[in-house]
Structure 1
Amino acid sequence: MSTLERAIEIAIEIATEAHRGQRDKAGNDYIGHPMRVMAAGTTPEEKIVGVLHDVVEDSDWTLEELAAEGFAPEIIEALRCLTHAEEEPYDRYIARIKGNPLAVAVKLNDLTDNMDIRRLPYLSDKDVKRLKRYLRAYKQLTGEPTYSVYACRQEYPNAYQPWTEAEDLELTRRWCEGATEKELSAHFQRKPGAIRSRIEKLDLERLYGKRGKRS
C-alpha cells in the first residue's frame, strides 16, 4: 500500500468518526456527503481533502491536529481554505477558495453534490434559496460571467433571453421529475433547441441521468 493510499484510509477513518451521528438535510447519515465528494476526486489529494473538507467546520478536529496526523502541508492549506468561519461572508469565503486550485477542485465537487436535489423529498423555499447560493458560487469558481439577467431583459426585450438562476433550478427540478423536452419547451416558452442546449450546459444528463425524453 502506498503512502497516499494509507493517507486516504486515515482520512476516511477520521471523517467517519468526526461525522458520526450527524445527519444531512434529507435525514441521511452525513458521512455519505464527504464520501461522495471524495469519490468525485480525480487525484489522491482531491480524495483526501474531499472526505475531510467538513471535518474542521463540523467537529472538534483542528487543522493542527490533522497536520499532526501526517497530512501534507498542501492538504492542510486546502482544508484551511475550505473551512468556512461562522462570521465570514459566503462570497468572501468563495473568493478565498479561488486562490487554491486544490480547494477549488474539491469545492466544485462539494457544490455539485449539494445541488443534487434527488435526495430531498421536496424543495422548500429555503432549499431554493440555498441552491441559488450554491449555483452562484459554482459560477464564481468556474469563471462563468454573472451579469444582471433582468437588466438585459429590460434593455433588449426582443433579444435572446438568458436563463436566470431560478429558471435553471426549475429546469433541474422538472428534469429530475421526468419532464420531457417537449413539456419543458412549453413550460419555459423556449424553442426545443434552447432547452436541449441548456440541459447540456447544466450537464443534467451526467448529474441526474437521462430522466427526461426528447419526445
Structure 2
Amino acid sequence: MGYMTKIVYAAGLVAQKLHNGQTDKGGNDYFESHLLKVASSGYDWKEKVVGFLHDASEDYNVTVEDVMNLLDKEISRLLNNPIENWWEEDWWEDWMEDIDKYPCETTHVITNEERDEIKTALTLLNHHTASSREEYINRISRNFLALKIKLQDLESNIDISRIQKPTEKDYARIERYKKEYHILMEALRNRLNI
C-alpha cells in the first residue's frame, strides 16, 4: 500500500474517532452509513480524505486546523507502524475493499498546496462558516474539491432508505437537498464545459 493510502486511512481513523457514537437521522452508525460512503465515492486521495473529514468541524467543537493536526498525528502513527501490524488494526479489513480502489503512488508527502486545498474545502463544507444556506452552496460551487465532495454528500443524504419511518420533515429536507444537488451539478457541468 502506498503513502496516499495511508493518508486516506488516517483520515478515516480521525473521522471514526471524532464521530464515534454519532448516528444519522435513521439511527445508523454515522461513520458507516455516511462518511465511509462519501469517502468511498471519491476518485482520488484528496476527495477521499475530504469525504471522511467533511463533517468534522461542522458537527464538533473543533477547527479545521484541529482536524488537520489530528490527521497529521494519524499519518505519523501509520508511517511509524510496521506494515505487519496493520492487520491487527480493526479498520483494515472493514475499509480495505472500499478505500483501496483508486490510483495510488508508492510515496507521497502532503505538500503545503495540497494541505491548503484540503483545508479550504473543509472550511467551505462547514455550513456554520456561511451566513445563509444560499451563500454556503454558492461558495461550494466555486471550489472544485468542495463541489465534488458536496455532491457526494448530498447523494448520500438524499437516500431516504436510511430512514425507516421518514417524516414530512425528512421529505422536506430531502427536497432541499435535491434542489441543492441540481444547482451544484449545474456548477460542475459549467466547470467541465459539458
TM-score computed with the length of structure 2 as normaliser: 0.69
Q: How big is each residue's C-alpha offset from its partner over 1:128-184, in whole Å with a ceiling of 9 and x where there is no partner?
A: 11011101100110118xxxxxxxxxxxxxxxxxxxxxxxxxxxxxxxxxxxxxxxx
| Structure 2 residue ranges without an equivalent (≥5) | 73-109, 188-194
1:123 maps to 2:124: no
What is aligned with 1:154? none
Question: Identity of aligned pairs, percent?
Answer: 38
* SS class of match (1:28): coil
Give the Cα separation in 2 of the matches to 1:43 and 1:79. 16
Give the Cα separation in 1 of the matches to 2:67 and 2:3. 16
Give the Cα separation in 2 of the matches to 1:116 and 1:57. 21
Q: How big is each residue's C-alpha offset from its partner over 1:79-108, in whole Å with a ceiling of 9 and x where there is no partner?
A: 111111077311110001011101111100
> How many residues end up aligned between the 2 structures?
144
Within a 5 Å distance, the mapping from 1:114-153 to structure 2 comes to 114-143=157-186
- Aligned partners of 1:66 and 1:76 also within 8 Å: no
Higher relative contact order (CA 8 A, sep 6+): 2
- Aligned partners of 1:57 and 1:83 also within 8 Å: yes
Give the Cα separation in 1 of the matches to 2:11 and 2:137. 24
What is aligned with 2:64? 63
Give the Cα separation in 2 of the matches to 1:117 and 1:80. 27
TM-score computed with the length of structure 1 as normaliser: 0.63
- Aligned partners of 2:130 and 2:136 also within 8 Å: no
Within a 5 Å distance, the mapping from 1:1-215 to structure 2 comes to 1-32=1-32, 33-68=34-69, 69-70=71-72, 72-85=115-128, 88-143=131-186
Report deviation, 1:49. 0.3
State the structure with more CA Rg. 1
Question: Which consecutive aligned stretches of 4+ in structure 1 deviate over 2 angstroms post-superposition?
Answer: 66-71
- Aligned partners of 1:8 and 1:48 also within 8 Å: yes
| Structure 1 residue ranges without an equivalent (≥5) | 145-215
Give the Cα separation in 2 of the matches to 1:25 and 1:106. 20
Q: 1:26 to 1:47 in 2, by over 3 A?
A: same
Report deviation, 1:37. 0.3
- Aligned partners of 1:53 and 1:82 also within 8 Å: yes
- Aligned partners of 2:19 and 2:56 also within 8 Å: yes
- Aligned partners of 1:18 and 1:61 also within 8 Å: no
- Residue identity in the other structure for 1:11: A
- Aligned partners of 1:38 and 1:49 also within 8 Å: yes
- Residue identity in the other structure for 2:174: L
More helix by share: 2
Two-structure CA RMSD over aligned residues (Å): 1.7
Give the Cα separation in 2 of the matches to 1:63 and 1:140. 26
Give the Cα separation in 2 of the matches to 1:93 and 1:9. 28
Give the Cα separation in 2 of the matches to 1:21 and 1:8. 21
